[in-house]
Structure 1
């Protein structure tokens, strides 16, 4: 299984989180400079022209890009605190075949960076079109602690791998 992991703004995939993800497949985690552009799904995928991803996982700004990529390549996504109000629809070229793209989304109820209410408002318009598993943790802020990351990743893979 090929896993595309997209880090957040001014962040990187930690060795501990990489280790958790590697239990489920090969992890591709590019370094992304979001300062030049927040939304860059095509540029991200161009780094891996011969790789077909089975799942997309992202945190914060990476979750926004993961959402867009998931929608266009038709692969499941696990999203942590995605700032979806910045979403801009982007249609990829025909190389990518859409399929079912269920999404598991975790929002921090105490997130001061990404307002969970705005994200929920955005997602309302997609409730009938997408398979969404949305959780709001009232005690969680923007950063995802290791234990919560591990639990969400395990649940995500158990849901998509039956």
Structure 2
């Protein structure tokens, strides 16, 4: 299994989280410069459209890109506190000419104490754009803030891959 991990703004995939993901497959984690490249989604689509990517995992800005990429490629996705409703501080273009295959399954993990990307704003976005997803699980973890602790990352990743394997 090939897993595409999309990190958040000014972030990287930690060694601990990489180890967790490697239990499920080969991890591809490109270094993304969201601020200097407003065409990340198009670039990722062009790079991976003909590769055998089985799952996309994204966090924050990587969750934003992962949402749109998963729906263009028709791939399952696990998104942590995705920056879906926010596009003001960092401009990212959503290519209109990409195919819309719709993600067959998404698991979206939202933090009840996230002050960077508020869960209620994501829920509003998702309710207005629900037709983009065929099957969606939304997990709201009350005590979770914006950063994803390793223990929660491990639990949610396991839940995602258990569902993905059915």
Q: TM-score, normalised by structure 2?
A: 0.87
- How many residues matched? 160
Contact 1:108 1:136 in 2 (8 A): yes
Matched, 1:70 2:70: yes
Cα deviation digits, residues 28-75 of structure 1 (max 9, x gap): 000001111456212124444652211100000000000010000000
Structure 2: give runs of 5+ residues left out of the alignment: 88-92
Match of 1:152 among 138, 153, 156: 156
Judging changes above 3 Å, is the alpha-carbon distance between structure 1 residues 129 and 37 closer, same or farther for their aligned structure 2 residues? closer
CA distance in 1, matches of 2:85, 2:14: 26
Structure 1: give runs of 5+ residues left out of the alignment: none
Contact 2:76 2:105 in 1 (8 A): yes
Q: What is the RMSD computed on CA atoms of the aligned residues?
A: 2.1
Instruction: Point out the more displaced range, 139-148 or 46-55.
Output: 46-55
Match of 2:139 among 132, 135, 142: 135
CA distance in 1, matches of 2:20, 2:80: 15
Contact 2:77 2:103 in 1 (8 A): no
